[in-house]
A and B are shown apart, each in its own frame.
Chain A
């Protein structure tokens, strides 16, 4: 099959073959395959050269103003990116306070990276730092309103900062909430089960845009006068609840794959419900659904762009805002901006996906079955 040429499997198998034999076997083994191969080659010929030309060969790498990018046939306009990089990362965060965002990023890396490396000691301390201490520190640093830290309202946050705040909050909140909801949905207590089913089905049934819109526009109408939680905070809660419903169903799939005997054996040994779940059932169930969990994370990461609908400027929103800047009206502006945003999103999502593959392989070698 022509398609096989892009999978790693046939590439490794072909090591012993000469290129000619390989091509004959994989690309031209029948009339149908030959036609598919030629059609694919033609499509690639049509698309790849212009893309490479725009992003690399004709790209403008240096310069400080739009004039640099106005030459006829000029490609990707990096000066536009460099000139607006602060907006892309921090939004309208006051420039003299940007160190606070950087510090928050650095602290975030310092608590997340050790969590991702398997086999490090002090897991529990790390988890407490990540789930409890870090969020509090981050709120104080970013929002301020403390001695030495002037307040920065969330309406001035933007760019990658907002993307990461929304995505990480959603990710960190959705896993534990999703696990609880999944357990609740399988509970023997009818009230709890009913509650979880209704909760999950409600949030899965509405589009995220609706959730964000309700959180931002409708909720204040229902809340008592004077109680007006921050717009970003409302969206964060909306995103967290929304993604926890999806996560619950992923986790439930994992729970269903674990034979009842596992839970029974744990209970027969005297373990409590929570011990049996925490030590025996969940570690196995979550392991089964790592791809599904990461898939939900990636979906959530990309869905953060929807906060634009309620006037919050994430990376993509900020990019669009900068495009409207008259100093940067250039023909290839939109293309440049979208390619750059896509690149940033891709780096994060690809990173998550690679990490998930790594974890799967690692856990697989220890499971031995």
Chain B
């Protein structure tokens, strides 16, 4: 991984994501409890917490893959309501990378990347292809452009998924455990791409158990437990002097490995 210069990156004053008093239920199950979270442009947030604490649900609320029941979520000045127009507007600006890659297996790598620019941005085909190649080069797999996802390794697939999201020129990138489904030897190639992205100033929210990544890249670690944000702090502080008892317990478990 990099030398940790990610932390010296400037964070602007502009608020990119603002969640206030967000509550969500799955039936009777209260999955998000009074979540407040403000993310500035250029910030790199790592979200950690035990399984089932609501991390995925939290970031899926940001692009409305899960609707929230109470509170407000504002992305780059657009408030998420049930208004479909606004939801689409937000989704155009927010890229997402999934644990299971979710590449489209019936399309080539290139087609995966050009799909959204063609249909959502209505970009001419040639321009979309050039854009896709640019990002495939950035994730270092331009030579795989004409293959199908099923022909690539997990690490390559996840890099394609990142390139696919970047083709929409998002202002925010959401990562939901992007390396959890990968074999150990492929984790680094994906994290390297994410580190580069952070260095370029991308606003990122990343659910991950990669504490090394958090230490080097994040400027804030958010710890969730039982649907609540129980602690948030810069990584140095988070790892060396956790305040919450649950955080301490969690860190002890994670760092034991």
Which chain A residues lie closer than 8 Å to B94 at the CB level?
268
- Cβ A275 vs Cβ B65 within 8 A: no
- Cβ B148 vs Cβ A368 within 8 A: yes
Which chain A residues lie closer than 8 Å to B165 at the CB level?
268-269
- Cβ B102 vs Cβ A269 within 8 A: no
- Cβ A272 vs Cβ B106 within 8 A: no
A262's nearest neighbour on chain B, judged by CB, is B102
**Smallest Cβ distance from A257 to chain B, in angstroms?**
12
A146 at interface by CB-CB < 8 Å: no
- Cβ A264 vs Cβ B65 within 8 A: yes
- Cβ B148 vs Cβ A366 within 8 A: yes
- Cβ A367 vs Cβ B105 within 8 A: yes
A9 at interface by CB-CB < 8 Å: no
B127 at interface by CB-CB < 8 Å: no
- Cβ B150 vs Cβ A367 within 8 A: yes
Q: How large is the interface on B (under 10, 10 to 19, 20 to 34, 35 or more residues)?
A: 20 to 34
Which of these, A262, A268, A272, A275, contacts B104 with CB under 8 Å? A262
B116 at interface by CB-CB < 8 Å: yes
- Cβ B168 vs Cβ A261 within 8 A: no
Which chain B residues lie closer than 8 Å to A266 at the CB level?
104, 115
Does more than half of chain A's interface fall in helix, strand or loop, or is it mixed?
helix
Q: Which of A240-292 contact B (CB under 8 A)?
A: 259, 261-262, 264-272, 275, 279-280, 283-284, 287
CA distance A280 to B116 in the complex (A): 11
- Cβ B148 vs Cβ A265 within 8 A: no
Which chain A residues lie closer than 8 Å to B115 at the CB level?
266, 269, 271, 279-280
**Smallest Cβ distance from B83 to chain A, in angstroms?**
14
Known: A265-B98, A268-B63, A368-B151. A279 touches B91 (CB 8 A): no
A15 at interface by CB-CB < 8 Å: no
CA distance A25 to B92 in the complex (A): 64
A369 at interface by CB-CB < 8 Å: yes
- Cβ B98 vs Cβ A367 within 8 A: no
B87's nearest neighbour on chain A, judged by CB, is A267
**Smallest Cβ distance from B57 to chain A, in angstroms?**
13
**Smallest Cβ distance from B147 to chain A, in angstroms?**
8
Known: A269-B120, A270-B116. A264 touches B98 (CB 8 A): yes
**Smallest Cβ distance from B95 to chain A, in angstroms?**
8
Give 1 or 0 for each of B98-127: 1 = CB within 8 Å of chain A CB: 101011111000000001100110000000
Q: How large is the interface on A (under 10, 10 to 19, 20 to 34, 35 or more residues)?
A: 20 to 34
- Cβ B65 vs Cβ A267 within 8 A: yes
Which chain B residues lie closer than 8 Å to A368 at the CB level?
147-148, 150-151
Which chain B residues lie closer than 8 Å to A272 at the CB level?
88
- Cβ B106 vs Cβ A270 within 8 A: no
**Smallest Cβ distance from A165 to chain B, in angstroms?**
34
CA distance A259 to B103 in the complex (A): 11
Max chain B Cβ within 10 angstroms of own Cβ: one of A264, A287, A366: A264
**Smallest Cβ distance from A368 to chain B, in angstroms?**
5
- Cβ B168 vs Cβ A269 within 8 A: yes
- Cβ A264 vs Cβ B102 within 8 A: yes
B118's nearest neighbour on chain A, judged by CB, is A279
Which chain A residues lie closer than 8 Å to B65 at the CB level?
264, 267-268
Known: A267-B65, A271-B120. A280 touches B104 (CB 8 A): yes
**Smallest Cβ distance from A121 to chain B, in angstroms?**
14
- Cβ B106 vs Cβ A283 within 8 A: yes
B164 at interface by CB-CB < 8 Å: yes
**Smallest Cβ distance from A136 to chain B, in angstroms?**
30
Which chain A residues lie closer than 8 Å to B91 at the CB level?
267-270
B136 at interface by CB-CB < 8 Å: no
Known: A368-B148, A369-B150. A270 touches B102 (CB 8 A): no
- Cβ A369 vs Cβ B105 within 8 A: yes
Q: Which of B117-154 contact A (CB under 8 A)?
A: 119-120, 147-148, 150-151
**Smallest Cβ distance from B49 to chain A, in angstroms?**
21
Which chain B residues lie closer than 8 Å to A283 at the CB level?
106
B116's nearest neighbour on chain A, judged by CB, is A269
- Cβ A271 vs Cβ B119 within 8 A: yes
**Smallest Cβ distance from A269 to chain B, in angstroms?**
4
Q: Which of A316-369 contact B (CB under 8 A)?
A: 366-369
Which chain B residues lie closer than 8 Å to A366 at the CB level?
106, 148
- Cβ A261 vs Cβ B98 within 8 A: yes
**Smallest Cβ distance from A293 to chain B, in angstroms?**
17
Which chain B residues lie closer than 8 Å to A265 at the CB level?
96, 98, 102-104, 161
Which chain B residues lie closer than 8 Å to A269 at the CB level?
91, 95, 115-116, 120, 164-165, 168
A276's nearest neighbour on chain B, judged by CB, is B119
CA distance A366 to B164 in the complex (A): 21
- Cβ B120 vs Cβ A270 within 8 A: yes
Max chain B Cβ within 10 angstroms of own Cβ: one of A268, A280, A366, A369: A268
6 closest cross-chain pairs (CB), A and B: A265-B102, A269-B116, A369-B150, A261-B102, A270-B120, A268-B96
Q: Assuming A264-B98, A270-B116, what are 18 further A-B pairs, CB within 8 angstroms? A: A262-B102, A262-B104, A264-B102, A265-B98, A265-B102, A265-B103, A265-B161, A268-B63, A268-B65, A268-B95, A269-B116, A269-B120, A271-B115, A271-B116, A271-B120, A366-B148, A368-B148, A368-B151
